[in-house]
Structure 1
């Protein structure tokens, strides 16, 4: 993985005014790792989350885990700590935001074929990730209009069209897909327009752009990176620079603004 110059802008400090009275911690996290005890893990997580009074969704598949949890901080932290005690999930890195109300109606732990459906079984992030770019570096590249080797930089949104309509990076590439499984065909049809550019794929929390970047590299597209931690980590570290609108989220908050506060409260 490329090493980055330490000339990136300082970390963004989110405004607290919209969240100062918020008592619900919302976390999202995922990990691509082989899981062969899905049924036992699913049952254990359902029991523990119910005991802590949490709500949200956890998806478990042979390729990994994807979770969205909300509740009092100490109870959410207990589940994250439980997972991190398992060597498979030791480096789980949740993105956090706060809300004044519980954004989920129930707690569901579900067994799935994929934690994000691409229908490309040869794309296996657990066997090796595409290179990533941290938020501060992407902001610097967008500020200067090119990467550190002088190539023009473009951002490529891997989300569905209705999510993009809520907000996205200025001037991003948007293939207007209706579901993530349409992404490979869209890339193949438009690959020529990416030649000679550095492409940074992005999505809400990193899970889609991780698969997308691997697929693009395997398809022969050079200079492709994934935005580390997705939009939510970008908001956390650098705010709304080069961003328009909000970020759609799949819960009752509907969208978050660049300060990670509910945009439609």
Structure 2
């Protein structure tokens, strides 16, 4: 639901970018020309971005990005606000777009983790099990302070303080997840994708929530989720209708 003149987008793509350093300046310059603010992270494992500005400018930048065939599948999640919730524009090159310290988890070496559409998750949570009758558990891969703002009902929360702690947490709690369908989730999808790869490597039956909480809000009524979704900008959080939370 549109609730302001500023379009906010977030998305990521787990894709091999060996030339990520060369992409930095052109993407920054184009965003600066269009007056956009926010953060774009580039790494050899892909791209993660949060940008805001007038819709025409945001869409023009996305169109420029998609001229590179590797980014053609990008499907940004959209929300609206009265003002730009970022103070400046940053385009950064990093070793990982979200640090996990598991160098073997790379898009050019591994297939995507199984992805669960928002509508399917909504149905599974309604019925209390997946389509094979297995109990479904929601595993929050975010930091503890994000979970405190809002989370799926009865989620598993290991109170991690940084994402690099996740693999050790899986090893410590693996027995609790056996025999269940585990759905890992995060804000926009990148953490839960990497998390689902680790879970499946551990022999667990796991999915990532496609597009994370924000896509779940966009495509459902937000049922089975309580509170707000923490976002890393001046809005702090968004409600199930993607409106900013005071």
**How high is the TM-score relative to the length of structure 2?**
0.98
Residue correspondences, number: 245
DSSP 3-state at the match of 1:201: strand
The answer to whether residue 116 in structure 2 is matched with residue 117 in structure 1 is no
In the alignment, the residues of structure 2 paired with residue 132 and residue 213 of structure 1 have an alpha-carbon distance, to the nearest angstrom, of 9
Deviation at 1:85, TM superposition (A): 1.2
The residue aligned with 1:253 is 235
Look up the match of 1:93: 75
Equivalent of 1:205, from 166, 188, 191? 188
Q: SS where residue 25 of structure 2 aligns?
A: helix
> Does structure 1 retain, via aligned residues, the 8 Å contact 2:16–2:106?
no
**Counterpart position of 2:65:** 83
Task: Classify the secondary structure of the residue corresponding to 2:73.
Answer: coil
After TM superposition, the runs of 4+ consecutive aligned structure 1 residues lying more than 3 A away are none
Query: C-alpha distance in 2, partners of 1:134/1:178?
Result: 27
* Structure 1 gaps, min length 5: 1-13
1:186 aligns with 169
Q: Are 1:58 and 2:35 an aligned pair? A: no
Contact persistence 1:57–1:107 (CA under 8 A): yes
User: Residues 143-174 of structure 1: CA distance to partner in whole angstroms, max 9, x if unpaired?
Assistant: 01000000010100000000000000000000
CA contact (8 A) 1:125 1:214 kept: no
CA distance in 1, matches of 2:105, 2:114: 15
Contact 2:141 2:191 in 1 (8 A): yes
Aligned-CA RMSD value: 0.9
Cα drift, residue 210 of structure 1? 0.1
Show the counterpart of 2:112. Answer: 129
